[in-house]
Amino acid sequence: MKFKFIETGLKGMFVVETKKFGDNRGYFMETYNEREFKNAGYPLVFVQDNQSMSKKGVLRGLHFQRNNPQGKLVRVLSGEVFDVGVDIRRESETFGKWFGTVLSAENGKQIYVPEGFAHGFLVLSDTAEFAYKCTRFYDPHDEGGIIWNDPDISIIWPEIDGEIILSEKDKLNPLFKEAVL
């Protein structure tokens, strides 16, 4: 099997471990296969791919779309990040809960952050290239955010040397209870 799907305890959110095929030239790995995801019970359709590069200490998030939520299959092309999803589905039994894991080019792991989740990541390496597939198109008029260090969510972010670097917009993100309640 090319993929191993690992549940996170938050409904719909899972980690994907991919099989790397390596030799003296480097490696090859498949990062997505519609048939294998569907056979595993994840019939996802993606409409948009995004990529970013960030330096150490950059924290992007926690972002979501209000009316047209995006599911995201995320991975790291180079470097290392701590990636987090927060369940903001009011009807969910895990509403307000989070899951985070380290994604790196080396470990090849991916994480699926489902529709109805806020998402963010912190760059742990000197730089990181980050890529993700989306189930819906991005709409700048539909975006929402939650402050990264909200005490009600209590995400345990890894310690880094230096300070957390936020965009001006992310510095103004509201608390969880103001953003989604």
According to CATH, the superfamily of the domain at 3-180 is: Jelly Rolls (2.60.120.10)
Please say if the pLDDT value at position 1 is more than 90. no
Locate 177 and state its tokens: 């209870």
Q: Which is the catalytic residue, given 42, 63, 112, 119?
A: 63
Please say if the pLDDT value at position 181 is more than 80. no
Phi, psi of 34 (to 5 degrees): -55, -45
Annotated catalytic, 63? Answer: yes
Q: Which is the catalytic residue, given 42, 112, 119, 132?
A: 132
Q: Alpha-carbon distance 10 to 171, whole Å?
A: 27
Annotated catalytic, 32? Answer: no
User: Against a cut of 0.85, is the pTM above it?
Assistant: yes
pLDDT band at 59 (very low <50, low <70, confident <90, very high): very high
Q: Alpha-carbon distance 180 to 123, whole Å?
A: 26
